[in-house]
């Protein structure tokens, strides 16, 4: 377990330790995208507790049950036992002789439930009739985010209401990553966050003795780099033939955001595209984002949705590496390739990560009461060609904030503020709405903008280094 995997997970560890350390029977469901640290959390809380751990694979149900039977029978000292059903297997583990609590962890349990469609119902029955009457702890882990939320946690799920704890493990925040790597300046951390996101597993490969650029070039661009093949490796684990998914992910990484754009650029028939988008959404690799004040279920909003890549490493790979041959072997070649193929476009690529860090900064201010208005709307907004990086508003849309996030080498100037103010006039807010304007800048601010901010209390200038506060 690397030192980052449980870093910043205090609340999750406390919740898990509370249920694992008690004597109460409990079902725990932990989910989140791959590499986010789910397994590490459970390993941490179970490391000194006797635990039967099974990691499911994408096998047919009969073979899956056979593998589970082999592992369980070996654990119980009865090698070679073949249980006729999942119910029988669970009952056997619950009834095994010995004192103390029974802990069963099933990692990637969706591979069982999606192949054996009656599994959740079968589990509910054996849980209600047997397991819940024992000193039993059942922990279910999954990387199929949408599947868990819709089919496992939904009101119609056989397991509805039975989980004592449900934890969705998100990627680490920019603030958490920066706390873990204090040796890097704010700009370096934004660049790292743009390429690696908040996935703990990826950050473990950085060497603090090297610059961020050197780390990224060596780990991502070299054919033998630790993370060079990671995006494709994850897709190969999920799909026998990932070619169509590759085409879709590449199209989104290159700028396609609507269904029609994705279909055109990926050469996937629009009639079958939904199926692939749904699968990628289930894996939390993509999401359909809607502008502030809109949503998927609101009238007239369906056409406003934009697809985006959630996984930063996948986004980097498909943006910069998908079309490149795997010929880079040396450190020198990797750094040269970075300067030639990546650096000229990296500021544009990193803008989304920078804006996310800025939203996180404002959200912290909101939680700490430094932004007094109760913001019920918060996020990105767009309409036509107009786009605002961050918009917030109270329920009545009278008190609003708007922010522009400038990740450029030039200082932000007065034009940035005027453009932001002009776009705010297009927002669907109250006629008497009062705005506070925020400008975040990688490269500081020119004198005219500073003077304007000094003259108006509702204009706030935030240098990039402040993101680390």
pLDDT at 300: 57
More confident residue, 3 or 441: 441
Reading across the β-sheet that carries 386-393, which strands appear in turn?
A: 377-383, 386-393, 399-406, 434-441, 459-463
Residue that is written with structure tokens 């650096």 in the block = 343
**How would you classify the pairing of strands 306-309 and 286-289?**
antiparallel
* Those residues with Cβ within 8 angstroms of residue 218's Cβ, 6 or more apart along the chain or in another chain: 210, 225, 331, 334
Q: What is the mean pLDDT of the chain?
A: 92
* Those residues with Cβ within 8 angstroms of residue 281's Cβ, 6 or more apart along the chain or in another chain: 146, 287, 288
Q: What is the pLDDT of residues 419-448, one digit of tens each?
A: 999 999 999 999 999 999 999 999 999 999
Q: Rounded to whole angstroms, how far apart are CA atoms 148 and 158?
A: 12
pLDDT at 129: 94
pLDDT at 355: 97
pLDDT at 2: 52
pLDDT surpasses 70 at 345: yes
Q: What is the pLDDT of residues 29-54, one digit of tens each?
A: 999 999 999 999 999 999 888 899 99
Token pair, residue 285, equals 């690799």
Tell me whether residue 174 is exposed, middle or buried, using C-beta atoms within 10 angstroms of its C-beta: 0 to 12, 13 to 18, 19 or more. buried
DSSP label at 227?
Answer: T
pLDDT surpasses 80 at 299: no
Q: What is the pLDDT of residues 170-219, one digit of tens each?
A: 999 999 999 888 999 999 999 999 999 999 899 989 999 999 999 999 99
Torsion, Cα of 418, 423, 424, 428 (10° steps): 170
Residue from 168, 193, 165 nearest 179 by CA: 193
pLDDT at 449: 98
* Those residues with Cβ within 8 angstroms of residue 91's Cβ, 6 or more apart along the chain or in another chain: 126, 130
The reported pTM is: 0.90
pLDDT at 207: 93
pLDDT surpasses 60 at 3: no
At 301, is the pLDDT very low, low, confident or very high (cuts 50, 70, 90)? low
At 363, is the pLDDT very low, low, confident or very high (cuts 50, 70, 90)? confident
pLDDT at 323: 86
How many Å separate Cα 404 from the centre of its chain?
24
Query: In this predicted structure, which of 83-92, 121-130, 360-369, 383-392 has the lowest mean pLDDT?
Result: 360-369
pLDDT surpasses 90 at 326: no
pLDDT at 364: 84
pLDDT at 101: 86
Residue that is written with structure tokens 């209401």 in the block = 161
pLDDT at 83: 94
More confident residue, 97 or 408: 408
SS3 label, residue 160: coil
* Those residues with Cβ within 8 angstroms of residue 66's Cβ, 6 or more apart along the chain or in another chain: 82
Domains of the chain: 10-168 (3.40.50.300), 175-350 (1.10.10.10), 371-468 (3.40.1350.10)
pLDDT at 370: 64
55 to 108, 110, 117, 223: CA distances (angstroms): 6, 10, 18, 29
Q: What is the pLDDT of residues 211-268, one digit of tens each?
A: 999 999 999 999 989 999 999 999 998 888 999 999 999 999 999 999 999 999 999 9
At 1, is the pLDDT very low, low, confident or very high (cuts 50, 70, 90)? very low
């Amino acid at each position: 377990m690397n030192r980052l995997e449980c870093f910043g997970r205090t609340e999750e560890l406390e919740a898990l330790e509370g249920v694992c350390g008690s004597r109460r029977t409990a079902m725990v469901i932990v989910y989140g995208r791959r590499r986010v640290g789910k397994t590490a959390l459970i390993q941490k809380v179970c490391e000194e507790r006797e635990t039967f751990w099974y990691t499911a694979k994408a096998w047919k149900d009969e073979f899956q049950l056979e593998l589970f039977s082999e592992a369980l029978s070996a654990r119980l000292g009865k090698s070679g036992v073949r249980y006729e059903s999942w119910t029988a297997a669970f009952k056997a583990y619950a009834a095994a002789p010995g004192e103390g609590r029974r802990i069963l962890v099933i990692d990637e349990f969706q591979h069982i439930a999606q192949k054996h469609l009656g599994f959740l119902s079968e589990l509910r029955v054996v849980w209600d009739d047997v397991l819940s009457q024992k000193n039993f702890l059942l922990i279910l882990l999954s990387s199929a985010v949408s599947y868990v939320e819709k089919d496992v946690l939904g009101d119609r799920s056989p397991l509805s209401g039975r989980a004592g704890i449900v934890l969705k493990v998100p990627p680490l925040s920019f603030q958490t990553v920066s706390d873990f790597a204090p040796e890097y300046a704010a700009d370096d951390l934004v660049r790292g966050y743009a390429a690696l996101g908040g996935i703990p597993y990826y950050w473990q490969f950085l060497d603090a003795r090297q610059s961020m650029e050197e780390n990224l070039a060596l780990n991502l661009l070299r054919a033998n780099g630790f993370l060079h093949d990671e995006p494709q490796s994850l897709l190969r684990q999920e799909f026998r033939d990932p070619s169509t998914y590759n085409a879709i992910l590449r199209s989104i990484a290159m700028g396609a955001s609507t269904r029609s754009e994705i279909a055109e650029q990926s050469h996937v028939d629009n009639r079958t595209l939904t199926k692939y988008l749904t699968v990628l959404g289930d894996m939390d690799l993509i999401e359909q984002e809607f502008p502030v004040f809109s949503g998927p279920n609101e009238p007239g909003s369906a056409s406003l949705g934009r697809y985006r890549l959630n996984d930063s490493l996948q986004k980097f790979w498909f943006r910069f590496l998908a079309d490149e041959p795997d010929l880079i072997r040396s450190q020198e070649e990797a750094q040269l390739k970075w300067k030639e193929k990546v650096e000229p476009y990296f500021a544009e690529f990193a803008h989304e990560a920078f804006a996310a860090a800025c939203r996180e900064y404002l959200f912290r201010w909101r939680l700490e009461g430094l932004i007094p208005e109760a913001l019920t709307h918060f996020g990105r907004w767009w309409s036509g060609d107009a786009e605002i990086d961050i918009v917030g508003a109270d329920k009545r849309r009278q008190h609003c904030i708007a922010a522009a996030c400038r990740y450029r080498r030039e200082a932000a100037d007065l034009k940035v503020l005027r453009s932001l103010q002009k776009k705010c006039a297009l927002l669907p807010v109250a006629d008497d709405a009062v705005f506070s304007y925020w400008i975040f800048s990688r490269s500081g601010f020119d004198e005219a903008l500073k003077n304007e901010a000094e003259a108006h209390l509702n204009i706030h200038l935030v240098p990039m280094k402040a993101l680390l506060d």
